[in-house]
Amino acid sequence: MLGNDDKRTGVLFVCLGNICRSPMAEGAFRSAAARAGLDCVTDSVGTAAYHLGEAPDDRAIATAAAHDVDISGLRGRQLEAEDFRRFNHIFALDTANLFAIKAKAPLDGIAKVALLMDLVKGREGTAVKDPYYGDMKGFETAWKDVSVAADALVKMIARKIPAAND
Ligand code: 4NP
């Protein structure tokens, strides 16, 4: 979480249950940011309260692990007003959650709220499909989506941070 004196960019990923798509997005982004040497504050939440305190779905953990990313330590929590003050960017994994996020935004929030796939050329306006009721293929598709978006997001944030000799 960002304190007032923390200059790092804060990024929050939001899906419905916070056990499938947003933890995978958080894991993919943490991994992409680490590879790029970018120090961000990152978290994920759900708009619903179905899975508070729970670890990600086993299939999400296994999918991330297959790509060398460990998300097993993440725990479900629900979007709260304070998130809009602490994070610079809030990314929704689909349009229904984008509306749910906007409906919760307090007047004094600073976060820019957007659809995650809007970061990816050719995928603007589209969802990371919810894999919860499907099979492992859906989790792999979701992982690919969040990974492409994570790479685009790292580039976007890195561009805004001037080099030391600029
Ligand atoms: P997520 O997937 O929003 O990607 O975490 C879901 C997880 C759980 C439920 C729905 C979607 N559920 O209804 O419990």
Residue of 21, 30, 59, 86 marked catalytic: 21
Q: Look at residue 115 and tell me whether its pLDDT is greater than 70.
A: yes
Please give the Cα distance from 25 to 60 (Å, whole number).
Answer: 10
What's the pLDDT band for 166 if we cut at 50, 70, 90? very low
- Is residue 123 among the annotated active site residues? no
- For 50-98, what is each residue's pLDDT tens digit? 999 999 999 999 999 999 999 999 999 999 999 999 999 999 999 999 9
Q: For ligand 1, atom 12, name the residue with the nearest CA.
A: 17
- For 15-62, what is each residue's pLDDT tens digit? 999 999 999 999 999 999 999 999 999 999 999 999 999 999 999 999
- For 136-164, what is each residue's pLDDT tens digit? 999 999 999 999 999 999 999 998 754 45
Neighbour order of strands in the sheet with 41-46: 41-46, 10-15, 89-92, 112-115
Sign of CA dihedral 89, 95, 100, 102: positive
Q: What secondary structure letter does DSSP report for 84? A: H
Please give the Cα distance from 13 to 42 (Å, whole number).
Answer: 8
- Is residue 59 among the annotated active site residues? no
